[in-house]
Amino acid sequence: MSKLFIKTFGCQMNEYDSSKMADVLKASHGYEVTSDPEAADLLLFNTCSVREKAQEKVFSELGKWKEWKEAKPGRVIGVGGCVASQEGEALAKRARIVDLVFGPQTLHRLPQLLEQTRSTHRPAVDIRFPEIEKFDNLPEPRAEGPSAFVSIMEGCSKYCTFCIVPYTRGEEMSRPLDDVLAEVSSLLDQGVREITLLGQNVNAYRGAMAGDGGTCDLALLIHILARFDTLGRIRFTTSHPAEFSDSLIEAYAEPKLASGVHLPVQSGSDRILGMMKRGYTQAQYLDKIRRLRQARPDLALSSDFIIGFPSETEEDFEQTMAMIEEARVDAAYSFIYSARPGTPAANLRDNISLEVKQQRLERLQTRIRQIGDEYARSLIGTTQKVLVEKTARNPGQLSGKTPCNRPLNFDGPASLIGQFVNIQVAEVLTNSLRGRLLGSAE
Ligand code: SAM
Ligand code: F3S
């Protein structure tokens, strides 16, 4: 049986796409996934180009695979994801060992591309954005454990001035509601209890509804999904503040919707937000958080930040620091701004020294860690409803996540995997919580 090794860089959308690549190649050519690249016949990289470092990682990685390819005739190397989308043919020219180049919207065409390169002995390239065709050509979803991702929309039409994604993944395209419901039903039939709805801007979801020809937004989708009896928890990521509608805030009255929200803000300075073309001010962002906390007092808030956007002053940065205090951001992905070729911001003069950027990033990360620790400690003694996902690394322990998305480990029998249980939080560890099993929460 042929073996497939996939290395994934970047976001959860890429993790989801990689699992779909495996499904497609299993269905077409019987490929089995291996975690050992040496045993593989086909090696795929699912790439990220959101920052320069992520992009360069791909080329340094490819450099390592020349001998691997030469060691066994017929071995194939493919590159998918955002770097592939951006570079196209040029990628196969720059890295001669590459046989397949495909984009996030053409991964379902892998079987044909594989046949093409085998018959022509030339690289096969397809990085188009065919209208949502991808989802119509994927095999039935396969559940791996009680928690699953479901991608409900693709691409982004926000064109933030710093971001490459609209160019690499295309404009926003939503899957029809019935398609999403069919995928969810299939996963629930396989024992899934928690669904994370995915999209680059998941709250821009506008799925076509059969019958009356209307559209379904994320809030309505959450209400519809909540009616599935065996579905115990709904999460979504990643969302855009400008699309965080009143109806989505009201959807937090639905107890199946998890209390952890990831809402990227990028900066607390209105001047920088304007230059980024984010479409909201600090006050508008804070107002949404205030109303979210009213709807859900136990809300946990994580966010994304870009530090050192061109012309960011000390004053701008202080506004970001003030904003995290007020919003109580307890976790974040934060990175130094990276100019992406072809984006409007790449034309701005990068006038801040690396030293200053690093100092600001360090200050921001330290403060968010402190808020995160305070938040975690506030959970001690509380009872958390947790979906038991798997056995933990420590023998005898099980692992799941709190509604606010914190990993939580506790002693218990493996027979509980796939069930909701009540856990009393006892201890805060570096990257997780430890708790005591109280009993079933079913
Ligand atoms: N939908 C989300 C939002 O509302 O911002 C963002 C999705 S974006 C692909 C993921 C994150 O990558 C962004 O939130 C941003 O912080 C980061 N990012 C994107 N472009 C970047 C750049 N040029 N430099 C540094 N970070 C960047
Ligand atoms: Fe990128 Fe802004 Fe869209 S960060 S993914 S262009 S919302």
**Looking at residues 160-184, what average pLDDT do you find?**
94
The DSSP output letter for 298 is T
Judged by its nearest atom, the ligand closest to the C-alpha of residue 161 is: 2
SS (H, E, C) 81-108: HHHHHHHCHHHHHHCCCCCEEECCCCHH
Whether 86 shows a pLDDT value over 70: the answer reads: yes
Q: Angle 231-234-240 (CA atoms, 0-180°, nearest 5)? A: 160
DSSP strand pairing (42-47 vs 397-401): unpaired
Judged by its nearest atom, the ligand closest to the C-alpha of residue 333 is: 1
The three-state secondary structure class of 233 is strand
Contact 162 CB / ligand 1 (< 6 Å): yes
Q: What's this model's pTM, rounded to 2 decimal places?
A: 0.93
Q: Rounded mean pLDDT of the chain?
A: 94
Span 23-61, pLDDT tens digits: 999 999 999 999 999 999 999 999 999 999 888 888 888
DSSP letter for each residue of 352-390? S-HHHHHHHHHHHHHHHHHHHHHHHHHTTT-EEEEEEEE
Contact 350 CB / ligand 1 (< 6 Å): no
Ligand 1 nearest-atom number relative to CA 263: 4
Q: Which two tokens stand for residue 249?
A: 């805030």
User: Whole-angstrom Cα distance, residue 117 to residue 62?
Assistant: 18
**Looking at residues 407-427, what average pLDDT do you find?**
97
Whether 133 shows a pLDDT value over 80: the answer reads: no
Which whole-number Å values give the CA distances from 144 to 104, 187, 340, 438, in the listed order?
22, 9, 35, 26
Contact 338 CB / ligand 1 (< 6 Å): yes
Mutation test of ligand 1: which of 47, 82, 159, 238 has the most ligand atoms closer than 8 Å to its C-beta? 238
Contact 335 CB / ligand 1 (< 6 Å): yes
Identify the pLDDT of residue 132. Answer: 62
User: Whole-angstrom Cα distance, residue 327 to residue 286?
Assistant: 6
User: Whole-angstrom Cα distance, residue 240 to residue 156?
Assistant: 10
What confidence category does residue 226 fall into, taking pLDDT thresholds of 50, 70 and 90?
A: very high
Contact 302 CB / ligand 1 (< 6 Å): no
- Give the closest residue (by CA) to ligand 1 atom 12: 50
Burial 61-94 (b: 16+ CB within 10 A, else e): ebeebeebbeeeeebbbbbbbbbbbbbeeebbee
In angstroms, what is the C-alpha Rg of the chain?
22
Identify the pLDDT of residue 139. Answer: 81
Amino acid at 365: Q
The three-state secondary structure class of 142 is coil
For a pLDDT cut of 70, what percent of the chain falls above it? 100
Listed in sequence order, the residues at least 6 apart from 190 whose beta carbon sits closer than 8 Å to its beta carbon are: 142, 143
Q: Give the chain's largest Cα–Cα span.
A: 64
Whether 433 shows a pLDDT value over 90: the answer reads: yes
User: Whole-angstrom Cα distance, residue 22 to residue 298?
Assistant: 38
Ligand 2 pocket: which residues have CB below 6 Å? Answer: 156, 158-160, 163, 165-166, 200-201, 240
User: Whole-angstrom Cα distance, residue 302 to residue 331?
Assistant: 5
Do the Cβ atoms of 344 and 378 come closer than 8 Å? Answer: no
